[in-house]
Amino acid sequence: MEKEIRLKNGKAVLVRELRANDDVFDLCRFINEMIESKEYLLIDTKQTPEEETTWLEAKMKNLEKGDTIDWRAFLGGRCVAGVEARRGEWKRRGSVEFGLALSEEVRGQGLGRALLKMMIAEVKKEWKPHRMYIQALGGNARAIRLYESVGFKQIARIPDYNNHFGKYMDEVWLMLEEKK
């Protein structure tokens, strides 16, 4: 899959599958910039190129098994976003969880919404899941609003579940509500 998405500011972003030969230095830069600015990610320690290589190798194995779909968005050749879907294991096999990360330069440009909608459509086609979920840190109101705008509804809040750089935050679970 390869698709161009035009942002609200007119810039074009290329969206495609994560690849084994992707530039680990660029992927590392993407995640480390977000960690440096204390974005609402689960990961909170900067990654080395070696750690990113190990992560990419493991991710490729999951992609090959068909348990993950992972797309990256590139602006001017630089990774600026990632969206993934992960099938649950064992008794959770009918469920899918999503993850989304956007660099500051592309937020508010419609990319997050477009990526989520595209990934939801792909997951429905490929996996036909029973339910689809996404999580957010309670302090990330912007992400929660985005997820709700795509059709997710808050179903659970786990108090003080994540230590976000010294401040405990709730974890909010949202489930995609399908219109039947």
Can you give the CATH number for the domain in which 88 is found? 3.40.630.30
* Residues of the domain holding 164: 2-176
Going residue by residue through the chain (180 aa), what tens digit of pLDDT does each one get? 999 999 999 999 999 999 999 999 999 999 999 999 999 999 999 999 999 999 999 999 999 999 999 999 999 999 999 999 999 999 999 999 999 999 999 999 999 999 999 999 999 999 999 999 999 999 999 999 999 999 999 999 999 999 999 999 999 999 999 765
What pTM, to 2 d.p., does this model score? 0.94
131-137 vs 95-102, strand pairing mode: parallel
Task: Specify the DSSP class assigned to residue 89.
Answer: P
Domain count, the chain: 1
The Cα 16–Cα 130 span in angstroms is 26
